[in-house]
A and B are shown apart, each in its own frame.
Chain A
Amino acid sequence: MDTIKPTRRAFLGVLGTAALAGCSSGLKESPAGTSQSLKIGYVSPQTGPLAVFGESNDYVLGKVRTALAKGLSIGGKTYPVEIVTKDTQSNAARAAQVAAELIQQDKVDIVLATSTPDTTNPVSDQCEAAQVPCVATICPWEIWATGRAAPTYSYLHFIGTQQEVGVFAELWAGLGTNHVVGGLWPNDTDGELYRKFVTAKSKELGWKLVGSGAYEDGAQDYTSIISAFKKGDVEILQAAPIPPDWVTFWRQAAQNRFRPKVVSVAKAMLFPSVAETLGELAENIVAPVWWSSGFPYRSSLDGTTAQAFADGYVSGTGRQWTPPMGFNHALFEIAVAAFKAAADPKDRSALAAAIGTLKGQAISGKYDFTAGPSKNVSLAPDLLGQWRKAGSGKYELVIVDNSLDPAIPAQGEVKPLR
């Protein structure tokens, strides 16, 4: 017992101090909460398996904070802007929890959520429940909009999978193939979505489809799938795996001599780090491009061009730019536009209603919440690129298809793998 007593006492002491600290910080905070500053909450995965989506956060937030340092003047009044960031640890439950913290403790005026359905959906749900405006991005709108009640307070600006499959199909049709499509689709939300839309598309075109079956994410062996693709004489491969699985699959495909004429990979080939890992095998893999340094758009906050924005990151960190940078920056631009459009930026329902009227341009391109494919959705155009080795020795995504937004210049021609 003697050894336990001090621990218990110490524990109670700590508890008491913590309670006191909690009270005093509450007392300190409450006047700030009612003051006329605008608070933006930002939820993204910064650690865990999805950390690659958030790796440019510091740079993006730095740029936004500099641009908003003087505050926002709305209706003759200047509001200081404060940004509170939260990490989801790549976990949906944690995302919901930090969103609740932002709403209840930090009392933010708007919540921004980014990167994968595991972030956007739980955060949007929390905001709907608490009636706090929310803008989300980097989640195909079909996943965000289906299975939830019609949103009032939450909005999404991103591409859609059905649209993307359409663009893929046009690219395939332009190349001479035997019209046999192989589908590598895992047993997850993205996999299901691509299976649904590619199956429908190939039926519409009268093409043959060889599906992989819904394998589990994290599988280490793909030889049976590769055998099936070889047996079916697949010349077009469409895949939506998680990044590590794609590297494993594509290496095993090379070892087992499966080489289709065109390979389009959603999700896994977004990031230059994956292309670097694959090395030569990455050459000419087709991937969707929703943002690139080649976009002819500027930040609506300070006029920075997409190129300068990406270059600043590259020179500051020594890493290659990543697509989420553009859309994460655009979230803040949309939030600022909403503050300006709202009758009273501190009125939550007025602010939420204001987002629905927005139509403008951000560093990521045009957004339009008035005419989306679903309620509260703004559809972004989806372009296609091919990974190619640049003069610098690094792999870069070269835009080869700009049919959905011809204002963005194409940077090369489509090349088949063989």
Chain B
Amino acid sequence: MIMGLVTGIVQGVLLGGAYALIACGLSLAFGVMRLVNIAHGDLAVCGAYLALVLATGLGVPVAVTLPLILPIAFAAGVLLQLVLFQRALRGGVLAPVLVTFGLSVMIQNLLVTGASADPRSLDGGRLAMAGFTIGDLTLSWLRVIGFLLAVAVLGTLHLLLRRTAFGRRIRATADDLETARLVGIRVRPVFACVAGIAVATAVLAGVYIGLTATFDPYAGGLTLIFAFEAVVVGGLGSLWGTLLGGIVLGVTQQLVGLWDVRFAVLAVHVLFFTVLVVRPRGLLS
């Protein structure tokens, strides 16, 4: 019984790391630009497809393709911001939601046309299949790597925001856009960079999802729901809150799953709902 609980909690924390990895780009984009990107999950799925194409095309392991994919993703994010999100953000609260929703539908349909609806997966080699044992606890290396990756990404973003001049400009813009403009911050490149970083993290998460599970052109929607819930539970726009939110969701899912797996996913949604009602600002905010 005790062992079961420990297993559940440890697995839950690791699972939460994966949720946070997907969610951090969403959290960043919302925190800085007030942009709710509905296409975030679909962009992640695009990343997984890109990794699949490059890895099979070049005949290299998936990890090797990352240095190629991440700059592409950053550029795509910058481009999306300049062409699409920037205009949408000027159109009020609802416009970005509608625009990114449209983008999501477009990405899904383009992927179906280009890659068929077959579920795909990325081959992570030996490591992706390996596990290790501590006492009675069996853990998967991939899950541990996912958690560490989430902490690393969030840590880097934290340092970037808190310790650099660029981060100061981002925070100033996030706090008060008009004042930031008045004191001479050029908002456009700041936003473009943030969008680039957000899409790059989404793509990184997409590659990770491709290694742990399967993806198909419609996988983005489900991915988005969990990411979105992690952001809201943790606190809108708070980066460490997103990690905490992911962990809370993961542990809830695992512990309820131990009791009855039927309610595991439902419990996550109920928790999300409860947080929205009781503490709409989230846990850390």
A: which residues have CB within 8 A of B? 47-52, 55, 90, 187, 212-216, 218-221, 223-225, 227, 230-231, 243-244, 247-248, 251-252, 254-257, 273-274, 277-279, 281
Q: Are B118 and A52 in contact (CB under 8 A)?
A: yes
**8 closest Cβ contacts across the A-B interface?**
A255-B140, A224-B257, A213-B261, A248-B213, A244-B214, A244-B119, A51-B117, A247-B214
Contact of B119 among A231, A252, A254, A274 (CB under 8 A): A274
Hey, which chain B residues are within 8 Å of A213, CB to CB? 260-262
Do A225 and B222 have beta carbons less than 8 Å apart? no
Q: Contacts A213-B262, A215-B262, A254-B129: A223 and B117 contacting too (C-beta < 8 A)?
A: no
Taking a contact as CB atoms under 8 Å apart, the answer to whether B123 and A279 are in contact is yes
Instruction: Write the nearest CB–CB distance from B28 to chain A, whole angstroms.
Output: 22
A230 to B15 alpha-carbon distance, docked (Å): 20
Residues of chain A with a CB closer than 8 A to B222's CB: 218, 220
Are A277 and B214 in contact (CB-based, < 8 A)? yes
List the A residue with the shortest CB-CB distance to B215: A244
Q: Is the CB of A49 within 8 A of B117?
A: yes
Among A255, A273, A279, point to the contact of B130 (Cβ < 8 A): A255
Which chain B positions have C-beta within 8 A of A218?
222
The answer for the CA separation of A49 and B236 in the assembled complex, in Å, is 33
Of B128, B214, B226, B261, the residue contacting A215 (CB under 8 A) is B261
CB neighbours of B139 from chain A (8 A): 256
The reply to whether A255 and B142 form a contact with Cβ atoms under 8 Å apart is yes
Best-surrounded residue of A90, A214, A227 (most CB of chain B within 10 A): A227
Contact partner, A225, options B7, B119, B257, Cβ 8 Å: B257
Residue numbers in A under 8 Å from B121 (CB-CB)? 247, 251, 277-278
The CA of A238 and the CA of B140, in the complex, are separated in Å by 23
Contact, CB under 8 Å: B257 / A273? no
* Given A225-B257, A251-B129; 6 other pairs, CB 8 A cutoff: A48-B112, A51-B116, A212-B261, A256-B138, A274-B119, A281-B129
Chain A interface, >50% SS class = helix
A45 (CB) vs chain B CBs: closest residue: B117
Give the chain B neighbours of A223 by CB distance below 8 A: 7, 11, 15, 254
Residues in B with CB closer than 8 Å to A254 are 129, 131
Residue B76, interface by CB 8 Å: no
Measured CA separation A219–B214 after assembly (Å): 11
Assuming the contacts A223-B15, A225-B257, A243-B119, asked whether A251 and B264 have C-beta atoms less than 8 A apart, the reply is no
Within 8 A of A (CB), among B232-285: 250, 253-254, 257-258, 260-262, 264-266
Bound CA–CA A213/B267 (angstroms): 15
B87 to chain A, nearest CB (A): 19
Annotate B110-147 by CB proximity to A: 1 below 8 A, 0 otherwise. Answer: 00100011111101000011110100001111110000
Contacts of B218 in A (CB 8 A): 48-49
A215 near B264 with CB under 8 A, answer yes
CB B36 to nearest CB in A, in angstroms, measures 22
Chain A nearest CB, measured from B185 CB (Å): 37
**Which of A244, A278, A279 contacts B213, CB < 8 Å?**
A244
Q: How far is the CA of A73 from the CA of B118 in the complex (A)?
A: 41
Judged by a CB distance under 8 angstroms, whether B189 is at the interface is: no
Q: Does B4 contact A (CB under 8 A)?
A: yes
Interface pairs (11), CB distance under 8 Å: A47-B112, A218-B222, A220-B213, A244-B213, A244-B216, A247-B119, A247-B121, A254-B131, A257-B131, A277-B121, A277-B214
Q: B8 at the A/B interface (Cβ < 8 Å)?
A: yes
If A214-B262, A248-B213 touch, whether A256 touches B129 (CB-CB below 8 Å) is: no
CA distance A174 to B112 in the complex (A): 43
With beta carbons under 8 angstroms apart, the residue of A224, A252, A278 that contacts B254 is A224
| CB proximity of A282 to chain B, nearest CB, Å | 12
Query: How far is A39 from B123 in the complex, measured between Cα atoms in Å?
Result: 47
> With A216-B265, A256-B138 known to touch, is A49 a contact of B216 (CB < 8 Å)?
yes
Judge if B65 is at the interface, Cβ distance under 8 Å. no
Within 8 Å of chain A (Cβ to Cβ): is B86?
no
A243 and B118 CA atoms in complex are apart in Å by 9
Contact, CB under 8 Å: A251 / B212 = yes
A274 to B214, CA, bound (A): 10
> What's the Cα separation between A252 and B15 when bound, in Å?
12
Task: Find chain B residues with CB under 8 A from A255 CB.
Answer: 128-131, 140-143
Residues of A within 8 A of B141 (CB): 255
The answer to whether A224 touches B112, judged by C-beta atoms less than 8 angstroms apart, is no
C-alpha gap A152/B253 in the complex (Å): 47
Contact B213 A247 (CB under 8 A): yes
Assess the A256–B213 pair: CB atoms within 8 A: no
Chain B hits for A221, CB < 8 A: 11, 15, 250, 253-254, 257, 264
Q: Which residues of B contact A278 (CB under 8 A)?
A: 121
Smallest distance from the beta carbon of A218 to chain B beta carbons, Å? 5
One digit per residue, 1 when the CB lies within 8 angstroms of any chain A CB and 0 when it does not, for chain B 199-235 equals 0000000000000111110110010001000000000
Q: A40 CA to B215 CA in the complex, in Å? A: 36
Contact B212 A248 (CB under 8 A): yes
- Measured CB to CB, the closest approach of chain B to A253, in angstroms, equals 10
Q: Whose C-beta in chain B lies nearest to the C-beta of A254?
A: B129
Report if A251-B118 is in contact (Cβ < 8 Å); known contacts: A219-B265, A221-B253, A227-B4: no
Q: Looking across the interface, which residue of chain A has its beta carbon closest to that of B255?
A: A224
A240 to nearest B CB, angstroms?
15
Highest count of chain A CB atoms <10 Å: which of B260, B261, B262:
B261
CB neighbours of A279 from chain B (8 A): 123
CA distance A256 to B216 in the complex (A): 24
In the bound complex, residues from chain A placing their C-beta under 8 Å from that of B140 are: 252, 255-256
A317 to chain B, nearest CB (A): 12
Contact status A273-B265, CB under 8 Å? no
Closest B residue to A249 by beta carbon equals B213
Tell me whether B213 and A47 are in contact (CB under 8 A): no
Closest to A224 in B: B257
Residues 89 to 119 of chain B near chain A (Cβ within 8 Å) = 112, 116-119
Complex alpha-carbon distance, A244 and B112, angstroms: 16
Q: How distant is A47 from chain B, measured CB to nearest CB, in Å?
A: 7
Nearest residue, chain B, Cβ from A52: B118
Whole-angstrom distance between the alpha carbons of A257 and B254 in the complex? Answer: 18
With the chains together, A51 CA to B218 CA distance in Å?
12
The residue of chain A having its C-beta at the shortest distance from the C-beta of B4 within the complex is A227
Residue from A224, A244, A248, A252 having most chain B Cβ neighbours under 10 A: A224
Residue of A52, A224, A274 touching B264 (CB-CB under 8 A): A224
